[in-house]
Structure 1
């Protein structure tokens, strides 16, 4: 990948509008994904299919979101983040709109899974990378604010989606979700470029080819980091899809079940903001903090089946939400620490592509375990085990036990050494 001359990150100014754009995209992408358990229950009942088959709807969407990471990176390199995110916002809304006319699960796989998933891919990577490019000293906190939209939106969307389903049935509810998703176009318009898009590649396909030929694919720390999140993503999204139906099977009504996800979303919001704020102020390496919160997220998922009563299940959901939220900004800022800011757009894209394999099988595996065991106990235990395994893999990163804390000077040295 050709080197790109980047202006110095302003650490503020219009960067806060870029953070707002990131906040909106995380709200309208992951807020929707994480609240889709409401529709999961409706799809199982309407189409009369097993949980494993219905789980593919969300799983395909998440996998396409991540698999399309390199494509969105290449397009953003050529044309800039703004038009790419705006196009993605349109596709995500269109997919939801077409899904409202679905007559089979295959229709949902194509509309929500493929089309909306592609739209989410075009939105997510450029939005997160833009925040990383606008900030240096306050990057972790800015990224935490940008991705905190998922928590706030999930708090509102879970009961809202249930209300929409009760009022308009699932088809009408999906039409409303489509209208909400089209607001991603406006969010993309906020992404003012920091410098000009690269002009030394002939086309987006050349940029994509350059990305795959970059040293990233031979960079051992990057490959270990990405492999960690293949394991993490295999379990990470399982509660988003199956916590609501799990609560329903325990005998709680639909609004109690939706409120569990909403409460976890509030805890997620606090986890993202509080932990990212602390990460910029404490003398602790990001990768060490990431290891801790990845382990705790997995542990909280393993404990979810112990929630036999509503208060206990609520407490466990809150613990899961806080821990799961905490690791998100640490993941992306940890990547920037490892490969340098100049490669963060391509690095996020490649990492997301590799993660897609875990996201693709996670929810269907969980649904399959539920179908053969009769409940979600094994589903949550296995999902949590994947995250715990990922936290252990982080120990194998080179210089993991070094006590040095990331700094701007160290990051630039890392990037120069990497580019050489």
Structure 2
């Protein structure tokens, strides 16, 4: 592959497009399982938390909102630490933080305790775990980047498919606190995943290995480029529609009088998302193709799927909406960060810094999304209203991407 292994990593003139990159892809798969997979499955605890803490829907939703906000807001810090200390160490520390926060959360006596434990401590750990892993995976692949990243990112989908019914059954057996404790201990596997992230250095052909190029810890010059600004605004508004639907699908089913098989709505959504991610990866892997245009089509269809939830009135209608949404969110969720590596956005050379700034910009809507949806529910007492804010945000995202 035109390179050599140095100090446990890859040093060469060509992107390996394989090799140890496959181990990194497996690591990313399981990091997705124990980060976004858990975040998206957290909705199974909502009713338990409302009953235990006697709090409103919007106040409970702040747990996930703070978590997502910290995850995205600290992205530049994650980038700086990864460039300074390496991706491996940052991810392993992130795994320890995630577990610490979740274990502490199982002993919470008030909702604000979970704001600190799940929201801040685990949220910081999620950022340290996810962002460096997806960044280094993109550096290990070139021609296969889209399809490998898309397939590896299905980890969160399989997690939701498995965790939603499993945690529901576990709660009935040992209670929500012990279930949360079990989940936190399970997330220690992130540390193992981080240990697999060998560093990679891609040098220009013919450049001596003794020459070291100082890489800026964080490059804000990308904020001067129109292509990145438009793409960052797309990410800002799209985040409004990413997290609220999985959190509110089960409460919506309860409000519609669906007593059985509610957890399978999340599972069906997750399986559909697997096909969406793999399908998008295969399409975007074809050459030549303007990948941004494909992304735009997927975002428009994702907006339609969000509006469809407001018309569901029974189980199969809700199931159809869940499958439609799952497929479309898979096409967007599995590709929007790797597309930063495309030359019409910022390119692979500046992807590490761009990913940090891009995810940081998403922090605003990550904080506002679930509480805004919860506020609409609290005021109207109609859970389908939660999907209006999601659809509105995704509409704005499509407009920004079209620019």
> TM-score, normalised to structure 2's length?
0.92
Instruction: Name the counterpart of 1:401.
Output: none
Q: Is the 2:372–2:389 Cα contact (8 Å) retained in structure 1?
A: no
Tell me the distance in 2 between the aligned counterparts of 1:237 and 1:73.
23
Instruction: Name the counterpart of 2:301.
Output: 296
The one-character-per-residue Cα deviations of 1:37-65 (angstroms, maximum 9, x if unpaired) are 11111111111111111100011111111
Q: Is the 1:286–1:333 Cα contact (8 Å) retained in structure 2?
A: no
Instruction: Name the counterpart of 1:256.
Output: 261
Alignment of 1:168-317 (within 5 A): 168-195=174-201, 210-211=217-218, 214-253=220-259, 256-281=261-286, 283-317=288-322
Give 1:200 deviation, angstroms: 6.9
Instruction: Name the counterpart of 1:381.
Output: 388
Give 1:305 deviation, angstroms: 2.1
The one-character-per-residue Cα deviations of 1:200-257 (angstroms, maximum 9, x if unpaired) are 77xxxx96xx515x3112222111111111101022211121111111111112x522
Q: Is the 1:82–1:191 Cα contact (8 Å) retained in structure 2?
A: yes
Q: Is the 2:255–2:383 Cα contact (8 Å) retained in structure 1?
A: no
* 1:108–1:223 CA distance, 2 compared to 1 (3 A): same
Tell me the distance in 1 between the aligned counterparts of 2:128 and 2:315.
39
* Correspondence 1:67 to 2:70: no
Alignment of 1:133-144 (within 5 A): 133-144=139-150
Q: Helix, strand or coil for the counterpart of 1:157?
A: helix
Number of equivalent positions: 384
The one-character-per-residue Cα deviations of 1:329-385 (angstroms, maximum 9, x if unpaired) are 321232111111111111111100000101100000000000001112222122112
Q: Is the 1:237–1:362 Cα contact (8 Å) retained in structure 2?
A: yes
Compute the RMSD of aligned alpha carbons.
1.8
Q: Helix, strand or coil for the counterpart of 2:182?
A: helix
User: Where do 5+ consecutive residues of structure 2 fail to align?
Assistant: 1-10, 203-210
Instruction: Name the counterpart of 2:157.
Output: 151
Q: Is the 1:33–1:240 Cα contact (8 Å) retained in structure 2?
A: no
Instruction: Name the counterpart of 1:370.
Output: 377
Give 1:195 deviation, angstroms: 2.6
The one-character-per-residue Cα deviations of 1:85-137 (angstroms, maximum 9, x if unpaired) are 01101100110000000011110000000000000000111111111100111
More helix by share: 1
Q: Helix, strand or coil for the counterpart of 2:335?
A: helix
Instruction: Name the counterpart of 1:331.
Output: 336
* 1:167–1:194 CA distance, 2 compared to 1 (3 A): same
1:82 aligned residue (68, 80, 88): 88
Tell me the distance in 2 between the aligned counterparts of 1:10 and 1:87.
27
Give 1:297 deviation, angstroms: 1.2
Tell me the distance in 2 between the aligned counterparts of 1:236 and 1:299.
14
2:97 aligned residue (91, 97, 100): 91
Give 1:319 deviation, angstroms: 0.4
Q: Is the 1:293–1:326 Cα contact (8 Å) retained in structure 2?
A: yes
Q: Helix, strand or coil for the counterpart of 2:146?
A: helix
Instruction: Name the counterpart of 1:119.
Output: 125
Q: Is the 1:303–1:381 Cα contact (8 Å) retained in structure 2?
A: no
Give 1:199 deviation, angstroms: 7.4
